């Protein structure tokens, strides 16, 4: 089993009262160490995904915006913040772009290991940010690391089956691959009036 280390990513802070708490990733990492589970797996520090990797799915102007926006320059980017859905649910915080780089890089690195048959299982505790769209943040997600990993897997595999077991519909991943027959998305989630309000049985 391959697992990128997530010590760095636990240092980010979405803001007081925000339900997304990256320090839980650090806690997961510490539990793995303290219970000795690390002896049964290889642990790697993920590379930071570069712009060229992230723009394999996301639009150039969106990733450039994420790279540029900071808490101290937000007033200069109010129009772009609205355009890219960055604000309350997806706030601007110190190190936002690096957070996206680490999350995306961890999942891409896991997919590369799978493609090279260097592992059978890859886990990125800092990943699973399945709501991010091509040019829009959503549901606490800025960069869709899952889409980036699937695109990497498609370099070596004809088809990919994506199974999402989060309580929220994996709308960002479904939207990314809606028009291709190379990726099948299956999402087990609560539907109806529950965020994001998509994925009904219809």
Positions annotated as catalytic residues are: 131
CA distance 58 to 36: 38
Indicate the helix (H) or strand (E) that contains 161. Answer: strand 160-164
Do 69 and 120 touch, CB atoms closer than 8 A? no
182 three-class SS = coil
- β-strand pairing of 160-164 with 42-44: unpaired
Angle of helix 96-115 relative to helix 145-153, nearest 10 degrees, comes to 30
183 three-class SS = strand
């Amino acid at each position: 089993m391959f697992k990128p280390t997530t010590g760095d990513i636990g240092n980010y802070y979405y803001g007081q009262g925000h339900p997304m708490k990256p320090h839980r990733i650090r806690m997961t990492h510490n539990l793995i160490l303290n219970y000795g589970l690390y002896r049964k797996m290889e642990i790697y520090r993920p590379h930071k995904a570069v712009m060229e990797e992230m723009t394999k799915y996301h639009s150039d102007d969106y990733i450039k915006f994420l790279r540029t926006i900071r808490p101290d320059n937000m007033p200069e980017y109010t129009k772009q913040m609205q355009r890219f859905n960055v604000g309350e649910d997806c706030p601007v915080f110190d190190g936002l772009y690096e957070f996206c780089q680490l999350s995306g890089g961890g999942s891409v690195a896991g997919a590369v290991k799978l493609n090279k048959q260097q592992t059978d299982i890859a886990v990125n505790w800092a990943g699973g940010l399945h709501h991010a769209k091509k040019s829009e943040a959503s549901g606490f997600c800025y960069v869709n690391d899952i889409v980036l990993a699937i695109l990497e897997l498609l370099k070596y595999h004809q088809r990919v089956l994506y199974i999402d077991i989060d309580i929220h519909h994996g709308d960002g991943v479904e939207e990314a691959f809606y028009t291709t027959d190379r990726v099948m998305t299956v999402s087990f989630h609560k539907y109806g009036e529950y965020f994001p309000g998509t994925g009904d049985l219809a």
